Amino acid sequence: MNIIVTKDEQEMSQKAADLLQQRNKPESECVLGLATGGTPLGTYQELIRRYESGEMDFSNVTTLNLDEYVGVPKSHPQSYRSFMQENLFKHVNMDTRKAHIPDGQAVDLKEECARYEALIEEVGPPDIQLLGIGHNGHIGFNEPGSSFESETHVVELADSTREANARFFTSIEEVPTKAITMGIQSIMKAKKIVLIASGEKKADAIQKLLSQDVSEDFPASALHRHPDVTLIVDLAAYQTV
């Protein structure tokens, strides 16, 4: 695992944008694996800035998002589809028909998981997968205890995850209890993975990750088994190490 420690969140976002940009070559289709949450917002702003200044082009970009809440309409402001639309897609010249996110409103969720897993094979795997990390080490919505063999599946969200995400909703009751997420094995298919973390709230999770212990109790530890992972972490998240 390569580790880049940055002075702050802004520099973390710039470095992550650099890695995404490097994979986006004009001569071929580029597949970006994308994440939601607060952490990637600065990276998306940086990608938008690079598009607006003519440094980046998104016409050859296909995206595969990690996860989506179950039962939240796509048009709901907190659906991950809306999140991606508002924070990246609508600002750049990408064809949103090539922007893939699991459908959390599918009538048959099992079938939707199988469809999405097949899609990862069909259009992917991502040239690069951007990841955040939950306080409990979750990646995507793979909570502690998730099998490292897991493919796209429906998960029951941990109370701590619902509490952490309640800030995006008006109350904790509104936070969905389930989500569809790419599994650990699906995530590990990416050619390159970049995990970003900032702020002291993530310091414990980063310390655990850097302890090198590999266990299903700490989902992000699976990344130690991937050949090409870069961790970009700001000083505040790295401080207790």
Q: Which positions lie near ligand GLP, rule CB under 6 A?
A: 35-39, 66-67, 132-134, 140-141, 161, 165
For 82-145, the three-class secondary structure string (H helix, E strand, C coil) is HHHHHHCHHHCCCCHHHEECCCCCCCCHHHHHHHHHHHHHHHCCCCEEEECCCCCCCECCECCC
Q: With respect to ligand GLP, which residue has the nearer C-beta, 34 or 60?
A: 34
Give the integer Cα–Cα distance in Å for 105 and 171.
Answer: 21
Q: Residue 97 CB, nearest distance to ligand GLP (Å)?
A: 23
159 is catalytic: no
Dihedral of the CA atoms 169, 173, 174, 179 (nearest 10)? Answer: 110
Taking the complex as a whole, the smallest distance from the CB of residue 15 to ligand GLP amounts, in Å, to: 16
Which residue lies nearer to ligand GLP by CB, 30 or 197? 197
Per annotation, catalytic residue among 24, 138, 151, 153: 138
Backbone torsions φ then ψ of 239, nearest 5 degrees = -55, -35
Catalytic residue among 9, 68, 143, 151: 143
- Catalytic status, residue 135: no
As a whole number of angstroms, the distance between CA 224 and CA 17 comes to 22
Tell me whether residue 53 is exposed, middle or buried, using C-beta atoms within 10 angstroms of its C-beta: 0 to 12, 13 to 18, 19 or more.
Answer: exposed
Among 4, 72, 87, smallest CA distance to 38 is for 87
Q: Of 9, 46, 67, 68, which residue is the catalytic one? A: 67
> What's the closest the beta carbon of residue 35 comes to ligand GLP, in angstroms?
5
Q: Which residues pair with 42 in a beta bridge?
A: none
Measured CA to CA, the distance from residue 61 to residue 47 in angstroms comes to 12
Active site residue 138: yes
CB-nearer residue toward ligand GLP: 60 or 85: 85
Nearer to ligand GLP by Cβ, of 4 and 220: the residue is 220
Helices 9-23 and 41-52 cross at an angle (nearest 10°) of 60
**CB 31 to ligand GLP: min, Å:** 18
Pick the catalytic residue: 24, 65, 87, 136? 136
Is residue 24 part of the annotated active site? The answer reads no
Residue nearest to ligand GLP (CB): 132
Provide the minimum distance between the beta carbon of 18 and ligand GLP in the complex, in angstroms, as a whole number: 19
Name the residue nearer to ligand GLP (CB basis): 60 or 168. Answer: 168
Residues marked active site are found at 67, 136, 138, 143
